[in-house]
Structure 1
Amino acid sequence: MTQANTTLDDRYTLQQGRVLLSGTHALVRLPMLQHQRDRAAGLDTACFITGYRGSPLGGIDTALWQARQFTERHAIHFTPGVNEDLAATAVWGSQQTGLFDDATVDGVFAMLYAKGPGIDRSGDALKHGNTAGTSRHGGVLVLAGDDHTCKSSTSAHQSEFALIDAMIPVLHPAGAQEFLDFGLHGWAMSRYSGLWAGMKLVSETVDTTTSVLIDPQRPRIVLPDQALLPPEGVHLRWPDSALAKEERLHRYKIDLAQAYARVNMLDRVVIDSPKARLGIVTVGKSYLDVRQALAQLGLDEAGAADLGLRLYKVGMPWPLEPSGLLDFAEGLDEIFVVEEKRGLIEPQIRDLLYDRPDERRPRVVGKKNTTGEVLLPSWDELSPAMIATAIAARLETLGGAGDLVKRARALERRLKAAQQDAGPVARIPHFCSGCPHSSSTRVPHGSQAFAGIGCHYLVQSMDRETLTFTQMGAEGANWIGLSPFRATEHVFVNIGDGTYVHSGLLAIRAAVSAGVNVTYKILYNDAVAMTGGQPFEGSPSVPAISMQLYGEGLRRIAVVSDEPEKYGAGADFAKGVTIHHRSELDAVQRELRTVPGVSALIYDQVCATEKRRRRKRGSMVDPPKRVFINEAVCEGCGDCGIASNCLSVMPVETEYGLKRQIDQSSCNKDMTCIEGFCPSFVTVEGVERRKPEAANLDLLLAQPLAEPDRPGLDQPWSIVIAGVGGTGVVTMAQILGWAAHIDGLGVAVLDQIGLAQKYGGVTSHVRLSREVEGLHASKIGVGEANLLLGCDLVQCASTEVLTRADATRTKAFINDHAAPTGAFTRDPLAVVSPVPLLDRLEHVTVGTFARDMTAWAEILFGNSIAANMMLLGA
């Protein structure tokens, strides 16, 4: 059924029916639904949300701010945390409301969000809060964001074990629909048991947009028998002794969580068979991958049952509810556990089956098979193709695989071929045009630097003598343990402004205490660019930071800026601070590296992407100044690219050889390219770019467009969109998703960004189906793509994308404009050749249509940013 009256506000206002939600938007809608339930039950409650952003929960704060007009109607109080452990402590405080006579509400239900490392660092706060308990009409939901593939992290993480250490039950939803269902269950279980409730969220489910059913009656919540509760209750109280809290936690609360899971069927049999031999137990994203794996093997539910498969979907992986699992295990020869990363469910199943007699105790395999060989790895992520191969192997062992083995081996061959094919060129993430880090991360000849967390982390791939890194907030602390054992007497340490406020100041304090020689370069960009340009908490000014550093004992502090003149004589800096233009950076650093002890350089320049946003909004002056290169004078030496480290300096082929030009569409007017001291540069002031002739567009729009042939959608139809971060790839995918939703189709859109928003490769996966129930894994698997939309030739010809294609059905529409990679800023000859990349595409597709959409966008619209939308309409 079409959704003709759909609006974006439906995310937060539609009371019943289907709405298109990303995982992040579902998390914003979730507390609104809880508040509505409480009001219907006669409760006057409020919601408290806090946490610290980080992939895959990097955009939740922005989404909450954008939805303020809706959240305020539901008594939702959002206060971002300075860091994760302080945020967790604030959540603990929200449950203490009932201890005081002047409480203004019946209870506060709270939501804490953090990425995996933030969960790790908050162990003490989580344990204290969970042991203390929740209030009767409150409850706590801990959102643990896990980046399993390390797309936007310094290490892959898995938060369940940190939550288990704090004895917090773990829910693991498989997508946006279950974000809502399990989130409401989480608060209900938290209120009933007195426990905090954890909810594991992985990148693939958070970053997927899909159709979700809003229903005031969903889910139906059942509370277990009240007789299970101890006479004194389970909720937070004061006074309360540590040992009494521990006893309640161990003696009652975990059992109560299991009882809640049992009566609400959080774990359930999805596929059953009267002749079941192989039982598959899975959870979260892996459940979707298992369903996709069965489809790749040609098995629907009836086919799976006919082969003797039984499928059990776990909703709460810890503590695993025993009775449902034991009922599922009856009559099986083997249980195959499919879960990403370290095994969590698998050892619990073995424990539950241990006391059963041999004839009622099926074998349990998962991470390893019965001979001890790796069956499913505990590293990286699992794919449907990997799982399909493993399922076929287990069925073959049991003697009933049929033709599945042949299909699985074909998948396995494609997987191995993909792993061996690196491709001729890669689009590695790079600083945006005009990024302050292109200048600020340079070090003088003979010096070394240590990297920090943030966009500037990318400097490690840029030949800038920047080596190693630490976890967030510990920048430079590794030098304390390293410096006594190296001949080098001094290093620079990069630390972002957001990290400085989060916890980085403590690392500086530690360096002062240890008496090491180090210069901290505090990269003040006035925004948390890594996760979307949010303001960092507290937003201390550059003068305020200088005062903090002076208070920590630093006596040599320098400020370097692209606009030093903005600091007049009245600026309130710490004693002895000197102000410099960025052109003096090298000289300032040479002086600072001779200063004994800890010194600091605050590099002050607004994030280029944030500057571009502010100029578009009119909140920052857009200087009427542009740089051009006279190609007749340019010698193609590449000094401008080396000086600026900027990818807006583009190669251009002329009759006289390879030259340079400035991409006016992406240029952020940083002007560092002119520091190459080249006579070919021309600066033009007081003018704007000429707009294209309207006749060009009129002629284009006058052409009649035929209606396209629409696929039947008997099977899901899959589109892969590949391009460069920051050029609108995600926007294209969202437009397709909304169009399908309005047409009443089932749709799933997965945006894989990670660090790729910084001029690296971005891939969006769009799946279409007649019904949303026909869609499982949102990531398009090996050979499953029907269409490739190549917004960037390099990314489209990458192994990551090409493995999705199939030479018998995949068509490709490609922008064959060969945009340079980051290597071009360092090597003037590192030009991308389109020919070998197009050859790769033509070998794996049934047809490839290639045109220079960038050139056409410039001609028709005067801006290359329109190229992707033109490709979408091709």
Structure 2
Amino acid sequence: MKTADTMLDIRYRPGPGRVILTGTQALIRLLLAQRRRDAASGLNTAGFLSGYRGSPLGAVDIQAHAAAALLAAEGIVFRPGVNEDLAMTAIWGTQIVPLFPGATHQGVFAMWYGKGPGVDRSGDALKHANYAGTTRHGGVLVVAGDDHAAKSSTVAHQSEPALIAAGVPVLAPSSVADILELGLYGWAASRHSGLYVGFKTVEEIIDCTASVETGLDVPIILPDIDPDSVAMRLHEPVLAQEARVLGLRRPALMDFVAANRINRIVEPAPGARLGIVTAGKSFLDVEQARADLGLGFARVLKLGMTWPVEPGIVRDFARGLEEIVVVEEKAPVIEDQLRAILYGMAGAPRIVGKRDETGATLFRAESDLSAADVTLGLGRRAQRLLPDEAREAALAHLAATIEAGHALDFGAHRVPHFCAGCPHNTSTKVPEGSRAMAGIGCHFMATWMDRATDVYSHMGGEGAAWIGQAPFTTERHVFANIGDGTYHHSGLLAIRAAIAAGVNITYRVLFNDAVAMTGGQHVDGPLSVPQITRELAAEGVRRIEVVTDEPEKYQGVADLAPGVRVSHRRELDAIQRAIREIPGVTAIVYDQTCATEKRRRRKRGTMADPAKRAFINKRVCEGCGDCSLVSNCIAVVPVETPFGRKRAIDQSACNKDFSCVEGFCPSFVTVHGGGLKRPEATRAAPPDDLPEPALPPPEWDMVVAGIGGTGVVTIGALLGMAAHLDGTPVSVVDVLGLAQKGGAVVSHLRFGAAAGAAQALRVPAGRANLLLGCDALVAGERETLDCLGEQTRAVVNLHETITGEFTRNPAFSLPMARLRQSLARRVGEAHLDTIEATAIATALMGDAIATNLFLLGYAWQ
């Protein structure tokens, strides 16, 4: 194919073609597609985007800002919300536009976004807005981001129950391409029915990068209806609203869904005895199972709308079936509706899903479902109806593959930790005799460190649990951590509640000038340390202290609240010991910029990079670990020498926080001026006799396992773009969780037919052709081991990258020999290549950040 234009605009350019998009970028393209569709129909509409970031929808605002010029040119306004429910209320306002004089457009189509807990907290606003309705040329899409396995959430969540409670129908896209199609149907359904339309997304869809066809015609059929009968009305009595929702709008929705085949029988299988009903991400897992087990004899119904399920297609689908297996994650939303629809139908098939006919678990309701879970479950049901020896052998092989991976996992895991130089390394310390309550944000990770930090709450409830505990305990005081983003979102109300209750609590407002948890965005709105101190003082906080790593920057600052003292972070312990003795609500505002954001800004030239570095003299170091204890920093690493274990500063990881030099140790050397010496090796010309690598087969599955923040996702992005430019179908799924905080990250890359077909987005159990183990520990974790089989080639970096445990245990080391042994047992010694990639890449390039790309090149050769 002709090499594509790779500029940002190509992702959003109108017209047909193949582009590479993430799920998040597909949402941005969807907004543009709706506006262009309206323009082509002669409609003068505008668009509106608002919500609040949170995984898996943590980058919607980043992508919207990146495409700001394109959005503005199409009349689409982006207004990030201070919190989810206020954003929902703003969305409500867009539908009011044509009902008042002065409207500049015929209607405004709107998109709200937020993670599952944000849907929950917005329930009141959502129900009010949904019952009020939409306008004929408006429409609302409610994009909910669900984290079924709580990979980066404090609670596992599923949005359907909350959306259903608000009377909001739910669409469930199964792929990036599905987002572009179902989204247009969603807005059309919202306009036609007068209802808001939910749009359920999960990590595997939103964090997927795929090469997709765009500009395809999406024919929309509008059944006959009086638009005014369902549209929003001013001053409508409350019960009249409810009557229209139930009596007019929902039937109109059902007519639209049926007319446009939102739910489709994708495999009719005449004469079938077994039927499968599924939706969303689970549809791809079902298709993977059908391909692997030869289940072409089963009838398959893919639901585009999971609630309310349109009864007509269910009855048509069920005729002649002996059994229907419902495959869905979490609660039985679809399964329960199918039972209600088919109740009393002559010859109705047996329905199984969460449990089989004996009450035994078939597809668990907790966590999420893997492709292997779905394959094993469907395989058992298929064998019950139509036994087959080859299928039985395939199921046994799959079960053995998973069991082998589990047996080799010996429990060592890369747990996320504060980044090198993170402010929370210091700000979350608790004085002896006290404890702290955790909050939402990166600082939540203090709960699994030795920091006397335990109880946590939902976002905005930080510290409020103490109001209920305080009257019934002899404990006099607690600290509560609250991030600046959470404070601005809704957390100030918790502080107000504590003041009203008269409890003794010190809020530590952690001002790090970035929403680091979701990508380093700025807080949505003006927020500064002086402003926070004035707000706290106005609320009635008894004592306010500012603690910072740069007290000099407050010289001449006159707008702090009266009586506020600014101190260096070295004084934190003394300040906390004193402030906990003061009755009532007190506060410490800890001001230090996010370390990762500092690094980004220094690279961009927007923040000064101090010409200063810390080193450890190994001959003086006694290996006591005091520097790690003081700094809690993962840039302090072990070095094995003939004289025993010593310490060093990983200059590639160091973010120049310099808290490590505060330890009581003569081995530290601080160098002022100059920079790191460039290694001699980088001046050598590369060899010109490298053999040309053999190309892999057209279908190729690859797993990249490494550490968040080291460029694992970059590997997937590079290979994904390369495949796209080559015209090869590709999908890349990044399993992140809290990975950007030094935890495990695994990327699943599928090339060729496997990527182009409707099959599982993650590499199925035992199917990987290549494991690129950028970190041996993540490569040896169970989730990675499950993907490996006898055909897998594994290329693994054997460099020991220490975990956060080392900051607390000076003797801690990784079981590198056992990790290598596990991988060798899994793929075979002949298929395992290990290399000290970090040392070589650092010697070549002067920075360990080159490690993963070096390892990729090694694997390629």
Distance 2:412 2:112 in 1: 41
Aligned-pair distance for 1:80? 0.4
TM-score normalised to the size of structure 1?
0.96
1:852 maps onto 2:836 in alignment: yes
Distance 1:622 1:424 in 2: 40
1:249 maps onto 2:249 in alignment: no
In the other structure, the counterpart of 2:817 is 835
1:279 maps onto 2:279 in alignment: no
Describe the shift of the 1:133–1:333 C-alpha distance in structure 2 as closer, same or farther (beyond 3 A): same
In the other structure, the counterpart of 2:767 is 784
In the other structure, the counterpart of 1:724 is 707
Aligned-pair distance for 1:9? 2.8
- Report the 3-state secondary structure (helix = DSSP H, G, I; strand = E; otherwise coil) of the residue aligned with 1:393: helix
- Report the 3-state secondary structure (helix = DSSP H, G, I; strand = E; otherwise coil) of the residue aligned with 1:9: helix
1:127 maps onto 2:127 in alignment: yes
Distance 1:417 1:508 in 2: 51
In the other structure, the counterpart of 1:24 is 24
Distance 1:689 1:101 in 2: 65
Q: Which moved further from structure 2: 491-500 or 346-355?
A: 346-355
1:745 maps onto 2:734 in alignment: no
Corresponding residue pairs, total: 856
1:194 maps onto 2:194 in alignment: yes
Counterpart amino acid of residue 331 in structure 2: R
Aligned-pair distance for 1:295? 2.6
1:707 maps onto 2:703 in alignment: no
Counterpart amino acid of residue 555 in structure 2: G
Distance 1:373 1:523 in 2: 48
Aligned-pair distance for 1:5? 4.1
- Among 302, 308, 311, which residue is 2:300 paired with? 311
In the other structure, the counterpart of 1:515 is 502
- Among 796, 800, 807, which residue is 1:814 paired with? 796
Counterpart amino acid of residue 519 in structure 1: T
Counterpart amino acid of residue 860 in structure 1: L
Aligned-pair distance for 1:419? 4.7
Distance 1:704 1:316 in 2: 57
- Report the 3-state secondary structure (helix = DSSP H, G, I; strand = E; otherwise coil) of the residue aligned with 2:738: helix
Distance 1:149 1:401 in 2: 34
Describe the shift of the 1:186–1:336 C-alpha distance in structure 2 as closer, same or farther (beyond 3 A): same
Describe the shift of the 1:774–1:706 C-alpha distance in structure 2 as closer, same or farther (beyond 3 A): farther
In the other structure, the counterpart of 2:470 is 483
Counterpart amino acid of residue 141 in structure 1: L
Per-residue deviation, residues 298-352 of structure 1 (Å, max 9, x unmatched): x2xxxx33xx311110100111011111111110000000000000111111111
Aligned-pair distance for 1:180? 0.8
Aligned-pair distance for 1:225? 2.4
In the other structure, the counterpart of 1:556 is 543
Gaps of 5+ in 2: none
Aligned-pair distance for 1:484? 1.6
In the other structure, the counterpart of 1:441 is 428
Aligned-pair distance for 1:705? 2.7
* Conserved 8 A contact 1:20-1:212: yes
Q: Which moved further from structure 2: 558-567 or 704-713?
A: 704-713
Describe the shift of the 1:4–1:84 C-alpha distance in structure 2 as closer, same or farther (beyond 3 A): closer
* Conserved 8 A contact 2:14-2:33: no
- Among 312, 327, 330, which residue is 1:323 paired with? 312
In the other structure, the counterpart of 1:458 is 445
Distance 2:755 2:354 in 1: 31
- Report the 3-state secondary structure (helix = DSSP H, G, I; strand = E; otherwise coil) of the residue aligned with 1:13: coil
For 1:256-405, list aligned pairs within 5 A.
256-297=252-293, 299=294, 304-305=295-296, 308-357=297-346, 360-405=347-392
* Conserved 8 A contact 1:209-1:749: yes
For 1:424-823, list aligned pairs within 5 A.
424-693=411-680, 696-699=682-685, 701-713=686-698, 716-770=699-753, 772-774=755-757, 776-806=759-789, 808-823=790-805
* Conserved 8 A contact 1:130-1:196: yes
- Report the 3-state secondary structure (helix = DSSP H, G, I; strand = E; otherwise coil) of the residue aligned with 1:124: helix
Counterpart amino acid of residue 842 in structure 2: E
Distance 2:745 2:472 in 1: 42
Aligned-pair distance for 1:253? 0.7
* Conserved 8 A contact 2:406-2:786: no
Counterpart amino acid of residue 92 in structure 2: W
Aligned-pair distance for 1:119? 0.3
Distance 1:830 1:109 in 2: 56
* Conserved 8 A contact 2:229-2:248: no
* Conserved 8 A contact 2:80-2:524: yes
- Report the 3-state secondary structure (helix = DSSP H, G, I; strand = E; otherwise coil) of the residue aligned with 2:742: coil
Distance 1:842 1:417 in 2: 12
Counterpart amino acid of residue 366 in structure 1: G
Q: Which moved further from structure 2: 346-355 or 49-58?
A: 346-355
TM-score normalised to the size of structure 2?
0.98
* Conserved 8 A contact 1:746-1:775: no
Aligned-pair distance for 1:698? 3.7
Aligned-pair distance for 1:860? 1.0
1:205 maps onto 2:205 in alignment: yes
Distance 1:479 1:144 in 2: 31
Per-residue deviation, residues 378-404 of structure 1 (Å, max 9, x unmatched): 011111211111112112222434432
Per-residue deviation, residues 118-175 of structure 1 (Å, max 9, x unmatched): 0001111001100011111110000000011111100110001101111111000001
- Report the 3-state secondary structure (helix = DSSP H, G, I; strand = E; otherwise coil) of the residue aligned with 2:12: helix
Describe the shift of the 1:183–1:402 C-alpha distance in structure 2 as closer, same or farther (beyond 3 A): same
* Conserved 8 A contact 1:281-1:338: yes
In the other structure, the counterpart of 1:141 is 141
RMSD: 1.4
Per-residue deviation, residues 449-491 of structure 1 (Å, max 9, x unmatched): 0110000000111111001100110001111111122221100
Distance 2:784 2:688 in 1: 33
Aligned-pair distance for 1:7? 3.7
Distance 2:5 2:580 in 1: 63
Gaps of 5+ in 1: none
Distance 1:73 1:13 in 2: 12
* Conserved 8 A contact 1:747-1:768: yes
The ranges of structure 1 where at least 4 consecutive aligned residues each deviate by more than 6 angstroms after the TM superposition are none
Per-residue deviation, residues 775-813 of structure 1 (Å, max 9, x unmatched): 52111121111100011111111112111111x201111
Distance 1:779 1:772 in 2: 10
- Report the 3-state secondary structure (helix = DSSP H, G, I; strand = E; otherwise coil) of the residue aligned with 2:230: coil
Distance 2:856 2:519 in 1: 25
* Conserved 8 A contact 2:408-2:822: no
* Conserved 8 A contact 2:841-2:854: yes
In the other structure, the counterpart of 1:825 is 807
Distance 2:223 2:713 in 1: 44
